[in-house]
Amino acid sequence: PNRCSSLLGIGLNLCLKCTTMGKMQSENPRDSRVIRPQPGLCVKTFTLPDKQKVFVNICQSAAVPPPPPLSREALVELLESEDPTGYRVPMSIGEAHTEVDNNSQGCTAYDVVISEEFFQKCQKDPLFQQFLIAVSLEGLENKYNLELSRDWKVLKNRKFLGSVNEQNIRTKSKPVIQEIEPKPEFCLLVEPPVGDPEFLIAEIQLPGVASSLSLVLDLGEDRLVLNARPSLFHLDCFIPFFIDQEGSVAQYNTNTQILTVTMPVVSS
């Protein structure tokens, strides 16, 4: 069976719900749904440094939530800011599929699904469209550990390369997360430090958090989301490897006020 795609954005992943401590709960099939997105636009780029041809099918679906409202003026300010990752565009990124281009050459294509409402907005303004493409490329890079050229081209006479594939998205999840809580200090350790990683260890400092009962930890296959209630901290970070959710454990030390999350790395 196909692995569920992740709903993510710049700094956003609507993750599989798990317990705060101990072993993670397995995914409930009722918490997801299958969607068939509609074609939107097709972007041609290539990987770096080997320059392998890649096509990105940016699709639309009403099942994907829209990002928070954003004016053109606010987008300009966002792009000029030191940290543009505060604004999040929810998207569902599917698996790579092999296709054939117009020259009968093999190539790789990815499907990225965003909100139908936001896609229509991006179609009306070239600046929003450029922003959408940049976000999509970054999402692919984060999820699949790629480096993609920003020398991209939107195909004029093609909205999609290949055939539109169904995607399985999670529905029982938090809506678009708004960053209103401060980010805690966070570090990610790799064990062993040399060679193939076996474990990732996240150490998160939570000053002022007296008990683990106030912590809500969501762990996805490549994402960690932590909320310390009420409105103390919020952390949403990409994990650079696929992890074993079932084998992951978390412990909170009330003396040091540090949450340690130990995550076995899934071998590729």
| Chain segment 4-39, per-residue pLDDT in tens | 333 333 332 222 222 222 222 334 445 567 888 899
This prediction has a pTM of 0.55
Cβ-count burial of 175 within 10 angstroms (0-12 exposed, 13-18 middle, 19+ buried)?
exposed
| Chain segment 106-128, per-residue pLDDT in tens | 899 999 999 999 999 999 999 99
Query: What rounded mean pLDDT belongs to the chain?
Result: 79
Binned at pLDDT 50, 70 and 90, residue 173 comes out as: very low
Residue range 240-247: mean pLDDT, rounded: 86
| Least trusted range by pLDDT, from 105-114, 160-169, 245-254 | 160-169
Report the pLDDT value the prediction gives residue 27, as an integer from 0 to 100: 41
pLDDT beyond 50 at 200: yes
Report the pLDDT value the prediction gives residue 171, as an integer from 0 to 100: 57
Q: Rounded to an integer, what distance in angstroms lies between the CA atom of residue 241 and that of residue 98?
A: 23
| Chain segment 66-105, per-residue pLDDT in tens | 888 989 998 988 888 776 666 788 888 888 889 888 888 8
